[in-house]
Amino acid sequence: MRSRLVPLLLAALAVPAAAAAQAPLRGSALAVELRGELAVPTSAFEDRYDLGTGFGFGIAAKYPVAPILALYAGWDRFEFDGTPGDAGVEVVDRGFRVGAQLGLPEPIGGLDPFVTAGVTYNRATLEVRDEAGTTEVEDGRSPGYEVGAGVMVPVARGVWLVPEGRYRLRSADLPIASLGDGDVRIRYLAFNLGVVIRLPGRDADPPR
């Protein structure tokens, strides 16, 4: 009986160790992400201000708390331009984000897909330019949420390219008389390409 238990115990211990070896973010290895972003406004947010595709950038830190789970915290800024009627509009949405990233125990074809979910704490600025001049209003910070999915593509030791898509939503108060009441739901799809760099850590093994 004892001779059978030893191999079983070794196999059980090997499972979490193998999972940790496959996950790009693990142990005590803090990672930093820099990214450029495109944003597509949706629904009433697009219709009210006749907005086009927006552009943005962001930075985030990611820290693993389990072989396939990491927590993230970061900051983003998005800018949209629009032309409602005869006016010119600029909407800037920026602020903080925190959440979790969940991956798979093993890669698929050398790639590491993941999903994310988190909360945002943003503020927005609306600037309107028309015949009367330029008017600018800013709302206070308010919470929102984001969900997304992406894939980590290893390119060098401790470095990944990360394409990702996210859906973001929150409510804001941007009162400008010519554009109706100030209540607006800011929502958009964000598509970003990031570079993740894993910092040295005592548990950070070389990537595959």
Both tokens assigned to 175: 């009162």
Does 9 have pLDDT greater than 50? no
Where residue 186 sits, what CATH number does that domain have? Answer: 2.40.160.20
* Among 50, 39, 43, 41, CA closest to 179: 50
For the chain, give the percent of residues with pLDDT over 90.
48
In a domain, 176, yes or no: yes
Domain count, the chain: 1
Q: Is residue 206 part of a domain?
A: no
User: What single letter denotes the amino acid at residue 149?
Assistant: A
pLDDT grade for 208, boundaries at 50, 70 and 90: very low
Q: Would residue 167 count as lying in a domain?
A: yes
- What is the per-residue pLDDT across 55-83, written as a single tens digit (0 to 9) for each? 999 999 999 998 899 999 999 999 999 88
- Which range has the worst mean pLDDT, 109-123, 130-144, 155-169? 130-144
| Distances from the Cα of 123 to the Cα of 64, 83, 90, angstroms | 28, 21, 14
Residue pLDDT, tens place only, 95-113: 999 999 999 988 898 899 9
Q: Is residue 205 part of a domain?
A: no
With respect to residue 204, please indicate whether it lies within any of the assigned structural domains. Answer: no
pLDDT digits (tens, 9 = 90+) for 164-206: 999 999 988 877 655 566 678 889 999 999 999 998 865 554 3
Is residue 208 in some structural domain?
Answer: no
CA 57 and chain centroid, separation: 10
pTM higher than the cut 0.85: no
Residue 207 placed within a domain: no
Residue 9 buriedness (CB in 10 A; 0-12 / 13-18 / 19+): exposed
Domain span at 74: 2-198
User: Distance (Å, rounded) from C-alpha 64 to C-alpha 108?
Assistant: 20
